[in-house]
Amino acid sequence: MKNWKIGIATVAVTLSLAMSATIAQAQETTTPAGAQTPVADSQQQQKEHKFEKALQYYLEYNPDKTAEDFEKLRPWLKPFSDVELMADMMADPRTLMEWMNQISEPEAVYLMMKCSQEPVMWDTWMNGMTDTNKLFGAMGRVLVNPDAYVNWVVGWFDTDLYKSMAGMMDPRKLVRWGEHGMRSEFYDPMYAFLKPDYYPERSDWLFDPQSFQPMLNIFAIPQIN
């Protein structure tokens, strides 16, 4: 009986030490969400994130701001054009909450509405959502990544997570929304389809067979030599 108790205690201590080491490692490799920009694409993909006109839209909407101001916002926009970066966001609640805090700014919402109507962005989404390697890679970063599960356990004990959540309810942000809500330019993306010059470029994309080629490639039968 005594040996049986000693054996159980030994196993319990071993498991506790292993779990502690795992959590400690995760904490060392995870930067607090409030002090970081979104995680970079670890595969260093050569495909550029297609926010080609975002800087132009940003400066037109904010004449008093500069390209440097836009560069602070750009990293938070990238996950909308890359499923793997979006998966990285979802793998850590601290990063996810800070991302939600940043994109809930009225300027970010305006840019997303504008860019989502551009054919170059449609190409980016079409290529990304039909790339099986990227899709499986994104699922792997969340579903089969042990660090993701550890992050979702220890992340709720990090005060930076709650700072990001509080930022979404910051009264100053509500004031900014009120100010932007009174600007007619903020609603331009919603009524862009009423302008005649909206259709030529987008119609060309819709009727171009190459636009949907990535989708057709999924069903292509490999040739056997």
Q: Are 70 and 55 in contact (CB under 8 A)?
A: yes
pLDDT exceeds cutoff 70 at 10: no
Report the percent of the chain where pLDDT is more than 90.
Answer: 40
pLDDT value of position 49: 55
**Domain coordinates in residue numbering, the chain:** 52-216
pLDDT for 150-200, tens place per residue? Answer: 999 999 999 999 999 999 999 999 999 999 999 999 999 999 999 999 999
Residues 6+ apart with CB under 8 A from 114: 53, 54, 57, 188, 189
Count of beta carbons in the 10 Å neighbourhood of residue 202: 15
Per-chain mean pLDDT for the chain = 79
pLDDT exceeds cutoff 50 at 15: no
pLDDT value of position 18: 42
